[in-house]
A and B are shown apart, each in its own frame.
Chain A
Amino acid sequence: MAMPMESPISFTNVGKIRWWQRGIFASQTGYVLLALAVLLVIMHFASPYFFTEGNMQNVAKNFSFIAIATLGVTFVIITGGIDLSVGSMMCFSAMITSMVMTELSAPGSPLVHMAADGKTVLANVPGLILLISILAGLGVALIAGLVNGFCIAVLGLSPFVTTLGMLSIVRGLGYVVSNGRGSFPGGPDADYFYALTSGDVLGVPVPFIYLVILALAMAVVLHHSAFGRHVFALGGNEKAAELTGIPVVRVKIEVYVICALAAGLQGIIISGWLGSAPANMATSYELNVIAAAVIGGANLAGGIGGPLGAIVGCVLLEVIRNGLVLAQVSSYWQQTLVGVIIILAVLVDRIRSRMS
Chain B
Amino acid sequence: MAHADATPVLELRGIGKEFGAIRALHDVDMQVLPGEVVGLMGDNGAGKSTLVKIIAGNFRPSHGEIRFAGNAVHFSRPVDARGVGIEVVYQDLALADNLTAAANVFLGRELKRKYGPIALLDHKAMAARALELFGELRSETRPDDLVKQMSGGQRQAVAIARTRLSNARLVMMDEPTAAISVRQVEQVLGLIHRLKEQGVAVMLISHRMPDVFAVCDRVIVMRRGEKRADKPIHETSPEEITALITGAKEAA
Q: Is the CB of A304 within 8 A of B98?
A: yes
Count of chain A residues with Cβ under 8 Å from any Cβ of B? Answer: 36
* CB of B73 within 8 Å of the partner chain: no
* Chain B residues closer than 8 Å to A177, beta-carbon distance: none
Within 8 A of B (CB), among A215-241: 220, 223-226, 229-230, 232-233, 235-237, 239-241
* Chain A residues closer than 8 Å to B94, beta-carbon distance: 237, 239-240, 243-244
Q: Is the CB of A229 within 8 A of B132?
A: no
A11 to B107 alpha-carbon distance, docked (Å): 24
Binary per-residue interface labels of chain B (210-249) against chain A in the complex, 1 for a CB within 8 Å, 0 otherwise: 0000000000000000000000000000000000000000
Residue of chain A at shortest CB distance from B198 = A1
* Chain A residues closer than 8 Å to B154, beta-carbon distance: 14
* CB of A330 within 8 Å of the partner chain: no
Nearest-CB distance from B232 to chain A (Å)?
27
Q: Is the CB of B140 within 8 A of A12?
A: yes
* CB of A10 within 8 Å of the partner chain: yes
Q: Is the CB of A246 within 8 A of B132?
A: no
* CB of A111 within 8 Å of the partner chain: no
* CB of B142 within 8 Å of the partner chain: yes
A241 to B96 alpha-carbon distance, docked (Å): 8
Residue of chain A at shortest CB distance from B122 = A224
A9 to B131 alpha-carbon distance, docked (Å): 8
Q: Is the CB of B121 within 8 A of A229?
A: yes
Q: Is the CB of B167 within 8 A of A1?
A: yes
* CB of A179 within 8 Å of the partner chain: no
Q: Is the CB of B140 within 8 A of A233?
A: no
Q: Is the CB of A243 within 8 A of B135?
A: no
Q: Please judge, given known A-B contacts A9-B135, A239-B94, whether A17 and B121 are in contact too, CB under 8 Å.
A: no
* CB of B120 within 8 Å of the partner chain: yes
* CB of B208 within 8 Å of the partner chain: no
SS class of chain A's interface: helix, strand, loop or mixed? loop
Q: Is the CB of A233 within 8 A of B109?
A: no
Nearest-CB distance from B187 to chain A (Å)?
12
A17 to B154 alpha-carbon distance, docked (Å): 15
Nearest-CB distance from A31 to chain B (Å)?
18
* Chain B residues closer than 8 Å to A244, beta-carbon distance: 94, 107-109, 162
What's the interface size class on B, roughly? 35 or more
Q: Is the CB of B107 within 8 A of A240?
A: yes
Binary per-residue interface labels of chain A (1-25) against chain B in the complex, 1 for a CB within 8 Å, 0 otherwise: 1110100111111101100001000
* CB of A245 within 8 Å of the partner chain: yes
* Chain A residues closer than 8 Å to B132, beta-carbon distance: 2, 5
Interchain CB contact (< 8 A) of B140 among A10, A226, A303: A10
* Chain A residues closer than 8 Å to B79, beta-carbon distance: 245
Nearest-CB distance from B116 to chain A (Å)?
13
Q: Is the CB of B142 within 8 A of A243?
A: no
Q: Is the CB of A236 within 8 A of B119?
A: no
Interchain CB contact (< 8 A) of B82 among A226, A230, A245, A246: A245
Q: Is the CB of A233 within 8 A of B96?
A: yes
* Chain B residues closer than 8 Å to A5, beta-carbon distance: 132, 135-136
* CB of B110 within 8 Å of the partner chain: yes
Q: Please judge, given known A-B contacts A1-B167, A232-B99, whether A245 and B108 are in contact too, CB under 8 Å.
A: yes
* Chain B residues closer than 8 Å to A1, beta-carbon distance: 164, 167, 198
A65 to B32 alpha-carbon distance, docked (Å): 62
Between A223, A226, A241, A242, the greatest number of chain B beta carbons within 10 A of the residue's beta carbon is seen for A226
* CB of B145 within 8 Å of the partner chain: yes
Q: Is the CB of A233 within 8 A of B107?
A: yes
* CB of B86 within 8 Å of the partner chain: no
* Chain B residues closer than 8 Å to A17, beta-carbon distance: 142, 145, 149
Interface residues of A (CB under 8 A from B): 1-3, 5, 8-14, 16-17, 22, 220, 223-226, 229-230, 232-233, 235-237, 239-246, 303-304
The 8 closest A-B pairs by CB, nearest first: A236-B96, A303-B98, A244-B108, A240-B94, A236-B98, A245-B108, A245-B79, A9-B135
A-B contact pairs, 5 of them (CB 8 A): A2-B136, A11-B142, A13-B140, A232-B98, A243-B78
Interface residues of B (CB under 8 A from A): 78-79, 82, 88, 90, 92-99, 103, 107-110, 112, 119-121, 123, 131-132, 134-136, 138-142, 145-146, 149, 154, 162, 164, 167, 194, 198
